[in-house]
Amino acid sequence: MGRSFVQLLIISLILGACLLGRFGQLHVPNRLQIVQQQGKLVVLTRLGASTYYQSNEGPEGVEYDLAKRFADRLGVQLVMALVDDMARLGVQLETGMADLAATGTTMAPWRRKRFVFATPYLHVRPQLIYRTGSRRPDGLANTVSGSLAVLAGTRPEWLLSHRQVDIPQLHWTALTKATSEDLLYRVWNKRIDYAVVNSNEFTLSQHFYPELRVAGNIGKPQGVAWMFRRDGDTSLLEAANRFFADLRASGDLAQLMEHYYGHLDKFDYVGTRVFIRHITDRLPLYRQAFREAAEKHQLDWRLLAAIGYQESHWNPEAKSPTGVRGIMMLTRPTARAIGVNDRLDAGQSIFGGAAYLKRMLMRIPERVPEPERTWFALAAYNIGYGHLLDAQTITKMQAADPESWTAVRKRLPLLAQKKWSKRLKYGYARGWQPVRYVENVRKYYRLLVRITEPAILDPKRIKADEALLESRSPFYLGGAAQSLY
């Protein structure tokens, strides 16, 4: 009797376990569910102008903005963990210490053998960089001699280390704890002869190092995409792909790319050199006035200074053929409206320009997000608010978003076309001017930010939250840890 009872108990336990499994009581959550249950998305990234950095305005960078939007979509907190060693990044990703890597990584074949990638959001080309005044190399394979630096784990390192490119006279090194900005700076100050960086990274830094040039592209364009570990669980990857598809369909991805790259389409070597010189010999004379005016109107003083440079090159006696005068090039009616008695007085002009910009900002609806709201205000500062409204009207007529700077800047030049100007309330305007105006102010502003905040891209700022990463319960332990490459 006792023995039968024990057998019956064992059978009941087995049946109970089967039923529990059958009805999902033993369900193991997938990676997406784990992220949502834990309430945070841990993203590995690297320091750089194209990825992630901290400014006085807070975190910035393409990868940061994308990751923040993705975390918001999942309803979780974003944790950005900085790494300076790509080999460690691979280990951290594979052992579940992070959920994904957003490092500006390209979808190279040797990476795809070990990791899976989301849909690429950008295509770039590695570029060979040299400094003007030195010998221009004819491509990587024809670089006769000198010193070259590449980032560890990149295609150029693979080409050199696997003897795909054999240059006996070339002394090259692969740096692990460095950024693309480090490489460009070393070429600029002549510590090395050449460097290889991705085209988007060079675009973001070219105005800061105007003597640098592109000798040529290396290989075909490569997609930049988020990287996930390869273990069969694709739930988070699929969520990321849906996120990028929606971002692309809504136009938000194009808008984000415009924010970071849209004002850098043309490079003016002479203009950039003059600007950097004037930062030293002119800006100190007016910096305090820009600071005080910006503080009064809750603006960034560097934005005001950028406007002043675009208007007059910080020349208080500047005068245009149309009669606008002073550092901020105020018209006589505008000066009267904002209480400026002497347009040639540098202080009055700067405070007047700040007041006028603030007035334009107040007219842009608050529902327009920053920094687009500022770009609209700059366009209105240059061409007048009425003409900006006309450009928005054309944008509506062409079924585009009138509150998207990307869309409106395409329509502003149409204000100069008779077939459009005769249909608009405020008539003809040289609409291409505010487009170039906004691009230039943005360029000068970004340069001033880089110069006044030199630590934002300093590798010493890399302080990955190791305690957080090491405390994470691994979702997947895929054998012995190996180098990413």
Instruction: Look at residue 454 in the predicted model and tell me its pLDDT.
Output: 63
DSSP 220: S
Instruction: Look at residue 474 in the predicted model and tell me its pLDDT.
Output: 33
pLDDT at 65 over 80: yes
Do 269-452 and 31-122+225-261 have the same topology in CATH?
no
Instruction: Look at residue 166 in the predicted model and tell me its pLDDT.
Output: 53
- The residues that bridge with 395 in the sheet, in sequence order, are none
pLDDT at 113 over 60: yes
What is the pLDDT averaged over residues 63-80? Answer: 93
For residues 138 and 236, the model is more confident at 236
Q: Give, for 352, the enclosing helix (H) or strand (E).
A: helix 346-363
Tokens 């704890």 — which residue? 177
- CA dihedral 412→418→424→427, nearest 10 degrees, is 80
What class has domain 126-219? alpha beta
Q: What is the pLDDT of residues 382-413, one digit of tens each?
A: 988 999 999 999 999 999 999 999 889 889 98
Q: How confident is the model at residue 477 (pLDDT cuts 50, 70, 90)?
A: very low
Q: How many CB atoms lie within 10 A of CB 396?
A: 12
Q: What is the pLDDT of residues 323-375, one digit of tens each?
A: 788 999 988 888 888 888 898 899 999 999 999 999 999 999 999 988 889 99
Lowest average pLDDT, out of 50-54, 235-239, 467-471, goes to 467-471
Catalytic residue status for 317: no
What is the CATH code of the structural domain delimited by 269-452?
1.10.530.10
Instruction: Look at residue 212 in the predicted model and tell me its pLDDT.
Output: 86
Lowest average pLDDT, out of 239-253, 325-339, 456-470, goes to 456-470
Domain 31-122+225-261 coded CATH 3.40.1050.10: no
What is the pLDDT averaged over residues 437-465? Answer: 70
Instruction: Look at residue 482 in the predicted model and tell me its pLDDT.
Output: 28
The token pair that represents 271 in the structure block: 């203009």
- Cα–Cα dist 458/84, whole Å: 12
Q: Where are the domains of the chain?
A: 31-122+225-261, 126-219, 269-452
pLDDT at 57 over 90: no
Is the four-CA dihedral 241, 255, 201, 203 of positive or negative sign?
positive
* Catalytic site residue from 157, 181, 258, 311: 311
Percentage of the chain with pLDDT > 90? Answer: 30
DSSP 99: S
pLDDT at 45 over 50: yes
The token pair that represents 242 in the structure block: 């849906």
Instruction: Look at residue 292 in the predicted model and tell me its pLDDT.
Output: 96
